[in-house]
Amino acid sequence: MIRHQVYFDTLGSMKEDSASWRSVFAGLSVLRLVDAYADAGSPANQADWAQLHNVRAAIEAVGEGNPVRGVLTSVFEQATKRSAIDDTVCTALMAYGRALDYEASWSLATDVFSTVAKLARPERNARLAVEAHTAAMAIGTFQRERTRKPPISPIPLAIVRACWGSRSVSRIRTWRRETCRKQKPFLTT
């Protein structure tokens, strides 16, 4: 499985070189840099100067007024200064996840929070590890609940228009009762 698959999916669905595309691309670049530092068991895995330059260029391509730019710059600077992933870098990543959450980019935020949950060491900073895990779970649960089908299908506009002319509320109620009987129960035990 590809790490940060949701970023690739999101980039694929956007118009290339738009402001939102550049923002998502910069976030992906920073996350891949963090992955390179986290996997730095051998010198071959560590980020080289070309990758650092590309990440910096991706961050600078994000618009000046975009709050994600400042947060990503902070993550980049903390990661490159330490050349390792520690609590300070994870805290900066949490700030990036919160910025995505405020933008309503919940799938991206869930990926960031999940990354922090994997990187944060509970023995060193239990609060950060629990916060990242809880945030990832909460947003994931919200997304699942948001996409569930409602138990009653909405009334089609054509029926509402037809009934509105005659002001027949009983027709709408009858249609709704008949439709609900035909549908399978929403919650099954």
**Residues 60 and 84 occupy one common structural domain:** yes
**Residues 166 and 110 occupy one common structural domain:** no
**Residues 58 and 138 occupy one common structural domain:** yes
Q: What is the pLDDT of residue 146?
A: 57
Q: What is the pLDDT of residue 175?
A: 57
**Residues 94 and 39 occupy one common structural domain:** yes
**Residues 159 and 119 occupy one common structural domain:** no
Q: 80 is written with which tokens?
A: 């490159």
- Show the domain range for 28: 5-146
Q: What global pTM score does this model have?
A: 0.70
pLDDT digits (tens, 9 = 90+) for 105-129: 888 988 888 888 888 887 887 777 7
Q: Are 73 and 110 in contact (CB under 8 A)?
A: no
**Residues 42 and 130 occupy one common structural domain:** yes
Number of C-alpha atoms within 13 angstroms, CB side, residue 71?
22
Cα 107 versus chain centre, distance:
3
In the numeric block, the tokens 């980019």 are attached to 105
Task: Read off the pLDDT of each residue in 88-115 and give the average, rounded to a whole number.
Answer: 88
Side chain identity at 66, as an amino acid letter? N
